[in-house]
Amino acid sequence: MRRALSYLALLGYLVFLAFPLIWLLSTALKTPQEMASLDPAWLPRRPTLANFADAFAEQDLVGSALRSLVVATASAVITVVLALPAAYALARHRGAVNRIAIGWVLVSQVFPVILIIIPLFMVLRRFDLVNTLPGLTFVHVTFTLPFALWMLQGYVRAVPRELEEAAAVDGAAKATSIVKIVAPLLAPGVVATLLFAFISSWNEFLFALVVLKDPDIATLPLTLVKFTGAEGVVRLGPLAAASLLATIPSLVFFAAIQRRLKSGLMAGAVKG
Amino acid sequence: MTAAAGAYAPAPPRRPRRTPRRGGGREMFLLMLPALVPVLVFSVGPLLYGIFLAFTDARSGRNAETSFVGLANFGDLLTDGDFWTSFRIGMIWGISVTVLQFLASLGLALLLDRDLRLRGLARVLALVPWAMPPVVIGLMWRLVYHPNAGILNAVLRDAGLLGHNVDWLNDFAIALPAVIVVGVWTGMPQTTVVLLAGLQNVPRELYEAGQVDGAGTWRRFWNITLPQLRPVIVAITSLDFVWNINQFGLVYVLTQGGPGGRTRLPMLFAYEEAFRFGFFGYASTLGVAIVIVVLAVLGLYLWRQMREAN
């Protein structure tokens, strides 16, 4: 009896979690005629990929995906290049600076973005960077930096200090030991941070909305939202298709890290 | 986006305990320079400037003169009916989403902690919302809620629960609850993962001892699970509350704050003030006011939790 109730509850959760996803997928595969039907069906009667082709053709989806790709890649690389030396220093040198930096990461979570975006917008305007991709990249770097710093210094700490000390005893210079010993061990952490920064930028909406006024240089989230503006029922199919395509990078990222999420690293983070 | 920052990151590995060591100060300082300078110049600086703007009449015009006006903006804010409406909606949204997220996630985490079939599927499904861009989540739910082509109306009509199609996101009374449901759906993964991790850290011996003492399931949950989970619960609900109150993208995509401002969260209000009407100073004041409220609510909550824990 108790077991049956548990299964019933689990089933309820499965339905709640899955049904919007199924509906998105189903809408993406429906023909325009079927979309116009007054009695929507769960599954498409004659599944079609035409919506995907339409999505590419109609709105500047490819162009905005490319722009998102450029901005996300640039901001991920710049963020990590800026954060890595400081992360190393923070992890190896405990003290007031370290505590302040960690505190800053927490504080930056509490403050609403509106308090950051207005001053940044004014800075961008002064340097004529509003409406430019470098401007948006700059804003994304700014925004991702504190958290990337925190992530990276965690990864540096996991590299045993003894390894570096052993290298020093063997006569290796500081730089050598960092390049030859710390760097290879740190590679997975750097990749994770790069991915995190990439996904944050790829998904980001508010800053893009504020910085990019010109529709011709819109990034992917902006283009997707614009889709809904002229919303006839028939256009919902391409919209669903485009949304699915935009989700692929995040899905790949999560597939890559999901084992770590499950295996309790999260537990470690919470227990501190 | 603030929410996303915390949400997407895989947790860094736990640090080994180690005695702090000093020395190499100058070298360290040089290493930190390239990152501290950008953080200071582009993150700390703008934030302080943003707070400063709250005390000015800054406008969006390129050549607009800005002057210091002291607390005038705060005075305007207190007498601004639109602000209070938005503020009330924000609190309803923030608290109900956080509470519902917590309850739903706790239930799911308890189920996932047990040896049930379909558990693997549920775990994967529970992570998917986390992996979706907020804009896509908003669009997806618009398809679900769509008055004519949406599945929700179709299902409810077929079940005989509805006589006519409801326009969920445009109905004055229903829009906010409808948006809250999406908020819960979106935030469940993080909360579930954290609570599940917490559950798995509760020592099994405690349950065995409870069983020996003849405590039933309910009592074991109430007297063992909940107290053991407490620190985790406090941490995740606090974070959820901060993220929810600062939510922007999801609701902007769903309703743009409509109908008639019924879902205009404080951040949407601030965005409109700043980038539609150009009142940079006033929008900053709103931001500062929200920070004060969030800190007050969190402070009270954490203080009460700590007092009860002792």
Q: Do A42 and B15 touch (CB under 8 A)?
A: no
pLDDT of A209 reads: 93
- Which of B77, B139, B186, B196 is the best residue to mutate to test the A interface, defined by the most A CB atoms within 10 Å of its own CB? B139
pLDDT of B92 reads: 95
Using a 10 angstrom Cβ sphere, with 0-12 exposed, 13-18 middle and 19 or more buried, the burial of residue B205 is exposed
pLDDT of B8 reads: 44
- Which of these, A143, A267, A89, A253, lies nearest to B11 by C-alpha position? A267
Cβ neighbours for B77, distance < 8 A, ≥ 6 positions apart: B83, B282, B285, B286, B289
Compute the distance between CA of residue B66 and CA of residue B60 in angstroms, rounded to an integer. Answer: 10
Q: Do B114 and A225 touch (CB under 8 A)?
A: no
Compute the distance between CA of residue B11 and CA of residue A60 in angstroms, rounded to an integer. Answer: 36
Residue A205: strand, helix, or coil? coil
Q: Do A254 and B130 touch (CB under 8 A)?
A: yes
The two three-digit tokens of residue A39, written as one number: 């009695």
Q: Is residue A147 domain-shared with residue A204, that is, in the same domain?
A: yes
- Whether the CB of B32 is below 8 Å from some CB of chain A: the reply is yes
Query: Does the pLDDT at position B128 exceed 90?
Result: no
Compute the distance between CA of residue B40 and CA of residue A226 in angstroms, rounded to an integer. Answer: 35
Residue B56: strand, helix, or coil? strand
Query: Does the pLDDT at position B310 exceed 90?
Result: no
pLDDT of B4 reads: 41
Query: Does the pLDDT at position A108 exceed 80?
Result: no
Q: How far is CA A131 from CA A210, A211, B42, B43, B277, in A?
A: 9, 6, 19, 21, 19
Beta carbons within 10 angstroms of residue B23's beta carbon: 8
Compute the distance between CA of residue A11 and CA of residue A5 in angstroms, rounded to an integer. Answer: 10
Compute the distance between CA of residue B136 and CA of residue A221 in angstroms, rounded to an integer. Answer: 8
Higher per-residue confidence, B106 vs B210 = B106
The mean per-residue pLDDT over the stretch A150-172 comes to: 82
pLDDT of A140 reads: 92
Looking at chain A, how many residues does it have?
272
Helix axes A236-262, A61-92, angle to 10 degrees: 20
Q: Is residue A91 domain-shared with residue A207, that is, in the same domain?
A: yes
Q: Is residue A182 domain-shared with residue A237, that is, in the same domain?
A: yes
The mean per-residue pLDDT over the stretch B178-194 comes to: 92
**Chain A: residue whose CA lies nearest to B196:** A267
Cβ neighbours for B185, distance < 8 A, ≥ 6 positions apart: A16, A17, A20, B129, B137, B141
Helix axes A2-28, B134-145, angle to 10 degrees: 90
Helix axes A220-229, A61-92, angle to 10 degrees: 140
Within the 95-114 window of chain B, which residues sit less than 8 Å (CB to CB) from chain A? 104, 107-108, 111, 114
The rounded radius of gyration (Å) of the Cα atoms in chain B is 23
Asked, for residue A53, whether it belongs to a domain, the answer is no
- Which of A38, A90, A118, A185 is the best residue to mutate to test the B interface, defined by the most B CB atoms within 10 Å of its own CB? A118
The two three-digit tokens of residue B90, written as one number: 């924000």
For residue B68, what are the β-bridge partners?
A: B56
Question: What amino acid is encoded at B143 in this protein?
Answer: L
Most confident of A249-253, B170-174, B175-179: B175-179
Q: Do B131 and A251 touch (CB under 8 A)?
A: yes
Q: Is residue A183 domain-shared with residue A121, that is, in the same domain?
A: yes
The mean per-residue pLDDT over the stretch B165-178 comes to: 89
Which chain B residues contact residue A108 at CB under 8 A?
2, 43, 47
- Determine what percent of chain B is predicted with pLDDT higher than 70: 89
Cα–chain-centroid distance for residue A30?
29
Helix axes A183-203, A61-92, angle to 10 degrees: 140
Q: Do B136 and A154 touch (CB under 8 A)?
A: no
Across chain B, what does the average pLDDT equal? 84
Query: Does the pLDDT at position A68 exceed 80?
Result: yes
pLDDT of B61 reads: 75
Question: pLDDT-derived band of residue A230, with 50, 70 and 90 as boundaries?
Answer: low
pLDDT of B159 reads: 84
**Chain B: residue whose CA lies nearest to A199:** B8
- Which of A17, A152, A162, A209 is the best residue to mutate to test the B interface, defined by the most B CB atoms within 10 Å of its own CB? A17
Domain ranges, residue A161 = 60-271
Asked, for residue A184, whether it belongs to a domain, the answer is yes
Question: pLDDT-derived band of residue B264, with 50, 70 and 90 as boundaries?
Answer: very high
**Chain B: residue whose CA lies nearest to A194:** B9
The position carrying tokens 């405990």 is A94
For residue B56, what are the β-bridge partners?
A: B68
Residue B68: strand, helix, or coil? strand
| H-helix or E-strand spanning residue B123 | helix B119-127
Answer whether B82's CB lies under 8 Å from B279's CB: no
| H-helix or E-strand spanning residue B49 | helix B45-53
Which chain A residues contact residue B27 at CB under 8 A?
174
Query: Does the pLDDT at position A257 exceed 80?
Result: no
The mean per-residue pLDDT over the stretch B266-281 comes to: 92
What is the per-residue pLDDT across A181-205, written as a single tens digit (0 to 9) for each? Answer: 788 888 888 888 898 899 889 989 9
Cα–chain-centroid distance for residue A196?
5
In angstroms, what separates the C-alpha of B173 from chain A's closest C-alpha?
22
Query: Does the pLDDT at position B1 exceed 50?
Result: no
Which chain B residues contact residue A6 at CB under 8 A?
111, 114, 116
First-to-final CA distance of chain B: 35
Where would I find the H helices in chain A?
A: 2-28, 32-36, 50-58, 61-92, 96-110, 114-126, 133-158, 161-169, 174-177, 183-203, 206-211, 220-229, 236-262, 265-271
- Whether the CB of B39 is below 8 Å from some CB of chain A: the reply is yes
Using a 10 angstrom Cβ sphere, with 0-12 exposed, 13-18 middle and 19 or more buried, the burial of residue A214 is exposed
- Which of B17, B21, B29, B36 is the best residue to mutate to test the A interface, defined by the most A CB atoms within 10 Å of its own CB? B36
- Chain A with chain B: Cβ pairs closer than 8 A: 337
- Which of these, A144, A61, A114, A241, lies nearest to B252 by C-alpha position? A114
The region of weakest confidence among A5-9, A226-230, B232-236 is A226-230
Which chain B residues contact residue A228 at CB under 8 A?
139, 142, 253
pLDDT of A192 reads: 84
Domain B33-309 has CATH 3.40.50.1220: no
Compute the distance between CA of residue A202 and CA of residue A140 in angstroms, rounded to an integer. Answer: 10
Instruction: Output the CA angle A185-A187-A188, nearest 5 degrees.
Output: 100
Backbone angles phi, psi at B283, to 5 degrees: -65, -35
Answer whether A27's CB lies under 8 Å from A231's CB: no
pLDDT of A263 reads: 46
- Whether the CB of B220 is below 8 Å from some CB of chain A: the reply is no
What is the per-residue pLDDT across B282-304, written as a single tens digit (0 to 9) for each? Answer: 999 999 999 999 899 888 988 88
Backbone angles phi, psi at B68, to 5 degrees: -75, 130
Asked, for residue A54, whether it belongs to a domain, the answer is no
pLDDT of A210 reads: 92
Answer whether B286's CB lies under 8 Å from B273's CB: yes
Which chain B residues contact residue A35 at CB under 8 A?
149
Q: Do B287 and A111 touch (CB under 8 A)?
A: yes
The position carrying tokens 């039933």 is B216
Q: Is residue A138 domain-shared with residue A259, that is, in the same domain?
A: yes
- Which of these, A191, A240, A217, lies nearest to A84 by C-alpha position? A191
Higher per-residue confidence, B266 vs A184 = B266
The tally of domains found in chain A comes to 2
pLDDT of B106 reads: 94
Q: Is residue A82 domain-shared with residue A203, that is, in the same domain?
A: yes
Q: Is residue A98 domain-shared with residue A202, that is, in the same domain?
A: yes
Q: Is residue A132 domain-shared with residue A205, that is, in the same domain?
A: yes
Query: Does the pLDDT at position A104 exceed 90?
Result: no
Q: Do B253 and A94 touch (CB under 8 A)?
A: no
| ipTM score of complex | 0.84
The two three-digit tokens of residue B23, written as one number: 């020395």
**Chain A: residue whose CA lies nearest to B199:** A267
Asked, for residue A17, whether it belongs to a domain, the answer is yes
Compute the distance between CA of residue A233 and CA of residue A243 in angstroms, rounded to an integer. Answer: 16
Question: pLDDT-derived band of residue B130, with 50, 70 and 90 as boundaries?
Answer: confident
Q: Is residue A18 domain-shared with residue A141, that is, in the same domain?
A: no
What is the per-residue pLDDT across B29-68, written as a single tens digit (0 to 9) for each? Answer: 776 676 577 677 767 888 899 899 999 888 887 777 778 8
